């Protein structure tokens, strides 16, 4: 009787410890998953800020460079494409993040072409509204870089946590999957040529 009671207590303790371990791991995975989603929301927030600045920038440029219609339309079209691509934070896989990056890269490219065009108009560069918008856009680009870095750090912490043993077993059981990272644009690997 005493041996069976001791065995029952030992089994109950093992089950209790296992339950507490799984519960704590699960709760930590949920917390980290939510942190990644929150950081993704912040990334989207700064991208949205950039999207909101573009119509003002385009309208300011229109007054000075109305014959640069093709460039302005390219920016407007790239902005429209960028607003159509959304990523579900619960499904941050490589394919959806790649598609998001491609549309944002297209917008960055269009904005770059717009900035080159604007360099040709000294009156536009002297316009205070334009300079303010340009400074806000540059600041937003910096914010995007910072938030993308923070997102990658958050995703890396989550991915490392769910891949460690025995949490990898729990993660598979509960359906937690690795989060994708922002990657540098492949064109960024090649340094631009500067000629004088």
pLDDT of 118: 74
Lowest mean pLDDT among 36-50, 52-66, 69-83, 168-182: 52-66
Question: pLDDT tens digit string along 57-74?
Answer: 888 777 766 667 777 788
Residue 125 lies in a domain: yes
Q: Quick check: 105 and 185 in contact, CB under 8 A? A: yes
What pLDDT score does 57 carry? 82
CA–CA distance from 163 to each of 4, 38, 167 (Å)?
A: 38, 21, 7
Task: Judge whether 163 lies within some domain.
Answer: yes
Is residue 133 domain-resident? yes
pLDDT at position 32 over 60: yes
Give the model's pLDDT for residue 66. 64
Query: Is residue 93 one of the residues assigned to a domain?
Result: yes
Question: Is 176 among the domain residues?
Answer: no
User: Is 131 part of any domain?
Assistant: yes
Within 13 Å of residue 139, how many CA atoms lie on the same side as its CB? 8
Give Cα 106 distance to the centre of its chain.
Answer: 15
Least confident of 29-43, 45-59, 87-101, 113-127: 113-127
Helical H segments across the chain, by residue range: 2-64, 69-84, 94-118, 122-126, 128-163, 167-174
**Distance in angstroms (rounded) separating the CA atoms of residues 8 and 163:** 33
Answer whether residue 38 is part of any domain. Answer: no
Please tell me the total number of residues recorded for the chain in this structure. Answer: 196
Residue that has been written with the tokens 């959806």 in this structure: 96
Expressed in angstroms, the distance from the first to the final Cα of the chain is 94
Residue 39 has a CB neighbour count (10 Å cut-off) of 21
- Residue 131's pLDDT band (boundaries 50, 70, 90)? confident
Q: Are 144 and 47 in contact (CB under 8 A)?
A: yes
pLDDT at 191: 46
Count of structural domains, the chain = 1
Query: Residue 127 pLDDT > 80, yes or no?
Result: no
pLDDT at 48 over 70: yes
Dist CA 189 CA 134 (whole Å): 26
Domain that holds residue 56: 45-171
Residue 156 lies in a domain: yes
């Amino acid at each position: 009787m005493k041996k069976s009671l001791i065995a029952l207590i030992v089994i109950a303790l093992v089950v209790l410890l296992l339950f507490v371990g799984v519960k704590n791991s699960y709760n930590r995975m949920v917390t980290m998953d939510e942190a990644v989603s929150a950081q993704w929301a912040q990334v989207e927030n700064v991208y949205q800020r950039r999207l909101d600045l573009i119509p003002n920038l385009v309208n300011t440029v229109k007054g000075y460079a109305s014959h640069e219609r093709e460039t302005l339309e390219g920016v407007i079209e790239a902005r429209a494409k960028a607003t159509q691509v959304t990523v579900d934070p619960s499904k941050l896989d490589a394919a959806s993040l790649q598609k998001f990056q491609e549309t944002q890269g297209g917008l960055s490219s269009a904005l770059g072409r717009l900035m080159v065009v604007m360099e040709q108009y000294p009156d536009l560069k002297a316009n205070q509204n334009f300079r303010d918008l340009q400074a806000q856009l540059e600041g937003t680009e910096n914010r995007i870089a910072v938030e993308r870095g923070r997102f990658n750090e958050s995703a890396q912490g989550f991915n490392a946590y769910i891949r460690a043993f025995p949490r990898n077993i729990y993660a598979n059981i509960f359906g937690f999957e690795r989060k994708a990272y922002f990657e540098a644009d492949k064109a960024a690997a090649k340094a631009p040529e500067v000629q004088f």
